[in-house]
Amino acid sequence: MLHTLSIESTGQGLVDITAPVQSVVSSSGTREGLCTVFVQHTSASLLIQENADPSARQDLESWLNRLVPGNDELFTHTAEGPDDMPAHIKSALTATSLGVPVIASRLALGIWQGLYRCEHRRRPHSRRVLVHVA
Amino acid sequence: MLHTLSIESTGQGLVDITAPVQSVVSSSGTREGLCTVFVQHTSASLLIQENADPSARQDLESWLNRLVPGNDELFTHTAEGPDDMPAHIKSALTATSLGVPVIASRLALGIWQGLYRCEHRRRPHSRRVLVHVA
Amino acid sequence: MLHTLSIESTGQGLVDITAPVQSVVSSSGTREGLCTVFVQHTSASLLIQENADPSARQDLESWLNRLVPGNDELFTHTAEGPDDMPAHIKSALTATSLGVPVIASRLALGIWQGLYRCEHRRRPHSRRVLVHVA
């Protein structure tokens, strides 16, 4: 079963998509199996991260921003703005696809795990996230 | 088929889990298919790395420790200790889930590939690793 | 369905493997499902990146080369040459396996996404890439 989600952002940051992905799993009728999440973009990505304290996600984002700053003199791919090439690199360092087992019709995430769609561009974007359940 | 492994560590480092994951594949009866490994934690992760010379894994770990040191003044998420936020970041940079094809009832790893569960915290931890075979 | 591709390189860089992987998907007869790509090496890896402007991929490679230079005094695993340990690290930071949904017998990549096999060694190498479709 395959479903496409459109996930909005208000700017750079992590958006929790655990609930909408779980909804797809629930409506698939699959009790035990595998859910694969895939983002159809190269300047947005996926991450499983701590869902309890928002400061952990904020620190991760700050750390990535420092590791991959815009206006790096190394970059030649600059036509789409100073946050475009860092977005591609951050996407490469995190995940474009993630497989999560399904147990008892639920995403088998750990207690402190949330599933996030990361927006690496500064402007708001709607991103297509595919959810495959089998 | 889904099975949960509990993998211990003695501290920070890579633990070879190729054999216990292969055991799950063997007992699944699947001859050709896909094995998905998933770690239910955000300060431990998965990696496929060279299994021959331990110095390669040691250098990888040293390199990650230098890239993501504790006590970074950027971090605000510090309540769980100086190795907690680096552990979340290292987990984000490596893998939470990995899909490995199964051929002739074996994980189709390359000759020099081993499957590792990475502990990024300093204290010993037992970590839950899910293995799905289909 | 499982198929092994041998993908050559002329040296360090990204090789577009979208077409050969799509060929495996087409010949599998699978209309809707999941394609998992897996590289059987620890100094080569997989990436989904922008397929439009080659400068994005070139910048990514330059950035990784600066982040993980050879001849790092930290490295003890040096017997196989100064580009070997950086290759292992770059492989760890990118992907060894990728799951891509299949819709209407096509890899469901975004418009600007290409599937790449990254060679992190300087010399040309032939690398084994497994493609599983189900």
- Could you report the per-residue pLDDT of C76-108, keeping only the tens digit for each? 999 999 999 999 999 999 999 999 999 999 999
- What are the pLDDT digits (tens) for B27-53? 999 999 999 999 999 999 999 999 999
End-to-end CA distance of chain A: give it in Å, rounded: 6
C-alpha distance from B46 to closest chain A C-alpha (Å) = 13
User: Is C95 an interface residue toward B (CB < 8 Å)?
Assistant: yes
- What are the pLDDT digits (tens) for A72-83? 999 999 999 999
The pLDDT value given to residue A13: 96
The CA–CA distances, whole Å, from C119 to A127, B78, C16, C29, C97 equal 29, 38, 11, 30, 15
User: Is B66 an interface residue toward A (CB < 8 Å)?
Assistant: no
Name, in order, each residue with C-beta under 8 angstroms of A37's C-beta and a sequence gap of 6 or more: A17, A21, A46, A97, A98, A99, A100, A115, A129, A130, A131, A132
User: Is C53 an interface residue toward A (CB < 8 Å)?
Assistant: yes
Predicted ipTM of the assembly: 0.97
| Residues of chain A scoring pLDDT < 70 | none
Q: Count CB-CB contacts under 10 A for residue B35.
A: 25
User: Is A104 an interface residue toward B (CB < 8 Å)?
Assistant: no
Place of tokens 């003044």: B73
- Identify the H or E element spanning B59: helix B54-67
Interatomic CA distance for residues A81 and C38, integer angstroms: 33
Angle at the Cα of B40 from the Cα atoms of B35 and B41, rounded to 5 degrees: 135
pTM comes to 0.98
Domains parsed from chain A with CATH numbers: 2-133 (2.60.120.460)
Q: How confident is the model at residue B54 (pLDDT cuts 50, 70, 90)?
A: very high
User: Biggest alpha carbon distance in chain C?
Assistant: 51
| Contact by Cβ (8 Å): B60, B118 | no
On chain B, the residues whose CB falls within 8 A of the CB of A59 are: 74-77, 85, 88-89
Interatomic CA distance for residues C83 and B103, integer angstroms: 31
In this complex, the residue of A41, A77, A98 whose CB is nearest that of residue C53 is A77
Q: What is the 3-state secondary structure (H, E, C) of chain C?
A: CEEEEEEECCCCEEEECHHHHHHHHHHHCCCCEEEEEEECCCCEEEEEEECCCHHHHHHHHHHHHHHCCCCCCCCCCCCCCCCHHHHHHHHHHCECEEEEEEECCEECCCCCEEEEEEECCCCCCEEEEEEEEC
- What are the pLDDT digits (tens) for B71-129? 999 999 999 999 999 999 999 999 999 999 999 999 999 999 999 999 999 999 999 99
End-to-end CA distance of chain C: give it in Å, rounded: 6
Q: Count CB-CB contacts under 10 A for residue C71.
A: 10
In this complex, the residue of B93, B101, B111 whose CB is nearest that of residue C36 is B101
Interatomic CA distance for residues A42 and C124, integer angstroms: 27
The pLDDT value given to residue C14: 97
In this complex, the residue of A59, A99, A108 whose CB is nearest that of residue B99 is A99
The pLDDT value given to residue A30: 98
Interatomic CA distance for residues C49 and A88, integer angstroms: 7
Q: What is the CA radius of gyration of chain B?
A: 16
The pLDDT value given to residue A39: 98
Checking phi first, is residue C114 left (phi over 0); if not, alpha (psi -120 to 50) or beta? Answer: beta
- Identify the H or E element spanning A119: strand A113-119
Angle at the Cα of B91 from the Cα atoms of A108 and B23, rounded to 5 degrees: 55
| Residues of chain C scoring pLDDT < 70 | none
